[in-house]
Amino acid sequence: MKGSKDLKNIKIAYIGGGSRGWAWQLMRDLATEKEIAGQVALYDIDFEAAKHNEAIGNELKKREDVVGKWDYKAYETIDGALTGADFVVISIMPGTFEEMASDVHLPEEYGIYQSVGDTAGPGGIVRALRTIPMMFEIAEAIQAYSPNAWVINYTNPMSLCVKALYTKFPEIKAFGCCHEVFGTASFLCEMLKDMEGIDGVKRQDLTYNVIGINHFTFFDKASYNGVDLFPMYDKFVDKYYDTGFFDEASKTNWMNNTFSCAHRVKFDLFKRYGSIAAAGDRHLAEFCYGKEYLKDPETVKAWKFGLTTVDWRKKDLKERLEKSRKYLSGEEQIDVTPSGEEGVLQMKALLGLGNFVTNVNIINRGQVPQLPLGSIVETNAYFSADEVRPVLCSDIPSELLALFSRHIYNHESIMKSALTGDLNHAFRAFLNDPLVTLDVKTAKELFDRMIHNTKKYLTMYQIG
């Protein structure tokens, strides 16, 4: 039929295509999917890394157990990668471990502990400032070379990355994806087993409504076969509040060894707010008052989650580089079972191959009428041919709005800072962050030091 896309000739541009993590996830999911095929265009500022992934990817299509046949090609320029793309995936690391170490660990000198440091808090804010100019560049390239492509962002800080894309190119068809919500849904499946002995339920079997902002999302409704899961969760929280609960999912997920938690923060938030927090505890904790879960390393330990150190990240990267070597040499092969991520499913839906509802980060055009238009919110959305339509969340409790809006206004201030070149706006956001439990003078000192450490990326400011 005329008008249909050639499903065997899809082009996916991957910005950050030298990645040794998300890129392999994508390869894996594409390999298992037989309805679509085409080219994955890998672009990375580290061209060699992209070349390695080109080689790794092209091995796949030779394998018999691979049903999805894709060509992988590293591009030296972003315009080459983008031109003709149907989809753009953005998954970059903004800066190096050096800047990340400053983001995460310098605040510790001031008594501020961060369990991730890439979303909110001092680290998230400074990382945002570093990332926004990169996202502006990418948005401009998309506008120039592939304005009709669907753009999926995986880079953190998610909210400000997506906001940056829309700020620079308002007509962009972009959304952001993160698997934290899936983890919590899987966790509810384990609850079903633990509390009711119901085994084998998959997260896709549950229905849940997502509200909030990335890494600080909540379910205000969750059900299984029509049964409201909230009363069960209430008892589950009581049962495991003190000891915590270790779920299977957190042990097996590829990224989650150091990422697992006992869900005690989640349980505590339920007791406070009556909604089910839907992200890993290490993310949730960073959105709360700094003297609470992240007061000091002992407190963190008592809440049974971990601080993700940059040293761990370095070690982890080393292992992944080693894995890359093995993939290249043929010593090891990419696993071609589905990863649990939804990127490829979303692409299929956008191509007309199966409507479904999932959660995404996207500009608020009214789906959360209680929060400012133009902010980036995470809610459910209905995916269909060339459309992503958020579902309406008009009834978020004021207590949660208070928590969300604090960060949403910070996002506005940070973006204003990037657009005007006036660092004051960013500092005001910094002061307003719940982790910044410092008086203004001390806060300024920390802020200045952090900015200094990342200044070479802050092209929009005049920094002495």
Contact 293, 303 (CB under 8 A): yes
Chosen from Mg ion, its own copies, none, partner binding at 178 (C-beta under 5 to 8 Å by type): Mg ion
Taking the least distance from each CB to its own copies, the nearer of 69 and 295 is 295
**Does 110 sit near its own copies (CB under 8 A)?**
no
Q: Tell which positions 206-265 bind its own copies, by CB under 8 A.
A: 207, 209, 221, 223-228, 231-232
277 is a site residue for Mg ion (CB under 5 A): no
Please tell me the distance from the alpha carbon of residue 203 to that of residue 258, in angstroms, as a whole number.
22
**Is 263 a known active-site residue?**
no
435 is a site residue for Mg ion (CB under 5 A): no
Angle at 72 between CA 66 and CA 77, to 5 degrees: 165
256 binds, among its own copies, Mg ion, none (CB under 5 to 8 A by kind): none
Contact partner, 203, from Mg ion, its own copies, none, Cβ < 5-8 Å per class: none
Q: Which residues contact 92 (CB under 8 A, 6 or more apart)?
A: 15, 16, 134, 155
Residue 224 contacts which entry, its own copies, Mg ion, none (Cβ below 5-8 A, type-dependent): its own copies
User: What is the spatial distance between Cα 283 and Cα 117, in angstroms, rounded to a whole number?
Assistant: 9
Binding letters toward its own copies, positions 404-443, x by CB under 8 A: -xx--xx-xx--x-------xx--xx-xx----xxxx---
State in angstroms the smallest separation of the CB of 37 from Mg ion. Answer: 28
Q: Are 149 and 137 in contact (CB under 8 A)?
A: no
Is 445 a residue that touches its own copies (CB under 8 A)?
no
Rounded Cα distance, 188 and 293, in Å: 22
Beta strands at 87-90 and 10-15: parallel, antiparallel or unpaired: parallel
Q: How far is the CB of 331 from its own copies (least distance, A)?
A: 40
Contact between 353 and its own copies (CB under 8 A)?
A: yes
User: Can you tell me which of 144, 321, 385, 463 binds its own copies, judged by CB under 8 A?
Assistant: 385
156 is in an annotated binding site: yes
Query: Known binder of ligand: residue 225?
Result: no
- List 52, 105, 179, 452, catalytic entry: 179
> Which residue from 164, 178, 400, 403 is in contact with Mg ion, where contact means CB under 5 A?
178
CB neighbour list of residue 89: distance below 8 Å, 6 or more residues apart: 12, 13, 14, 15, 16, 22, 26, 151, 152, 154, 343
Residue length of the chain: 464
Question: Which amino acid is it at 437?
Answer: T
Spell out the residues 6+ positions from residue 14 whose beta carbon is closer than 8 angstroms to its own. 23, 26, 40, 41, 42, 43, 81, 88, 89, 91
List the single partner that 318 binds among Mg ion, its own copies, none, CB under 5 to 8 Å by kind: none
Q: Nearest to Mg ion by Cβ — which residue?
A: 178
Long-range contacts from 194-199, C-beta under 8 angstroms, 24+ separation: 194/236, 194/245, 195/232, 195/235, 195/236, 195/239, 196/232
Q: Which residues bind Mg ion (CB under 5 A)?
A: 178
Binding-site residues from annotation: 156, 178, 215
Catalytic (active-site) positions: 179
Binding-site residues from annotation for substrate: 156
